[in-house]
Amino acid sequence: MSAVHPFTTTLPTAALADYVAAQVNMFFPDGHDERAAAREIVADALGRMEHCVRHVHIKGWWSGGAQPGPQFNHLHTDQYAVFLTYVSNTAFRRGKQSLAAKSYALNKALHSLDAFYEVELPAIFAVVHPVGTVLGRGTYSDYLCVYQNVSVGADLSLKYPAIGKGVVMYGGARVIGDARVGNNCLVGAGCSIMGGSVPDNHIAFGQRPMGGIRPTQRNVIRDIFKDG
């Protein structure tokens, strides 16, 4: 249904590329102008962003009015944080190492979001005031929503987690090491999962030894993303 709505942006693609370049040039004045690289990368990153925004029906991600539609607003900081993950990863894929590193670092500077450019984040995901969030190496699936101070990454044995489709991680949640979070799951605020697994359609809460899981009737894709 969302595909019938036109996608709009608050800056044209060329202006958006120059906007990104101006920011990274200002933050990292090493004498290497990133404008040419940004102009090569941003159109592809914006295409990835369009696909994402069309499936994220969270407040502020679509324009209002009589005919609402998917919109990327470069001044909507949650959206811009996601966009910078696509810029840095797209630059990495295309061999633009300098822009990859700088746009990754820019995301940390602007939003305190640490999502390394080599990490393949989902095609559809959202962040909600993600200050202090680290999305490290692991396997991610679509319809992921993360809040502030969330951590995903390896343990000391360099084992990595896997996160299923349709997962919400609330503030302070941790998924570390050889952990598996199933499809359609919610990881509660402050919950730590280090190893083990959360079955599909469950809520995880608390910390060991007091934590636990229980079934949920929520449908993350339908209720949070308003998709499907």
pLDDT tens, residue order, the chain (228 aa): 444 789 999 999 999 999 999 999 999 999 999 999 999 999 999 999 999 999 999 989 998 766 789 999 999 999 999 999 999 999 999 999 999 999 999 999 999 999 999 999 999 999 999 999 999 999 999 999 999 999 999 999 999 999 999 999 999 999 999 999 999 999 999 999 998 899 999 999 987 556 799 999 999 999 989 887
Contacts 24+ apart (CB under 8 A), 172-180: 172/148, 173/146, 173/147, 174/150, 175/138, 175/151, 176/151, 176/152
**Do 56 and 71 sit in the same domain of this protein?**
yes
Structural domain boundaries, residue 188? 119-228
**Do 123 and 106 sit in the same domain of this protein?**
no
Asked if 60 and 76 touch (Cβ cutoff 8 Å), the reply is yes
**Do 50 and 88 sit in the same domain of this protein?**
yes
**Do 1 and 108 sit in the same domain of this protein?**
yes
For tokens 């996601």, the residue is 82
Q: Which of 80, 112, 144 is the last residue of a domain?
A: 112
**Do 146 and 166 sit in the same domain of this protein?**
yes
Structural domains counted in the chain: 2
**Do 59 and 108 sit in the same domain of this protein?**
yes
**Do 90 and 12 sit in the same domain of this protein?**
yes
**Do 45 and 135 sit in the same domain of this protein?**
no
- Which residues are CB-neighbours of 209 under 8 A, at least 6 positions away? none
**Do 72 and 144 sit in the same domain of this protein?**
no
Asked if 173 and 166 touch (Cβ cutoff 8 Å), the reply is no
**Do 124 and 100 sit in the same domain of this protein?**
no
The whole-angstrom distance between residue 206's C-alpha and the CA centroid of its chain comes to: 24
Q: Is 191 exposed, middle or buried (0-12, 13-18, 19+ CB in 10 A)?
A: buried
Please report the DSSP string for 33-98 in residue order: --HHHHHHHHHHHHHHHHHHHHT---TTSB--SSS--BEE-TT-HHHHHHHHHHHHHHHHHTT-HH
Radius of gyration, CA atoms only, the chain: 18
Asked if 191 and 174 touch (Cβ cutoff 8 Å), the reply is yes
What is the rounded CA–CA span in Å between residue 173 and residue 40? 36
What is the rounded CA–CA span in Å between residue 220 and residue 226? 8
Within 13 A of 126's CA, how many CA atoms are on the CB side? Answer: 25
**Do 146 and 214 sit in the same domain of this protein?**
yes
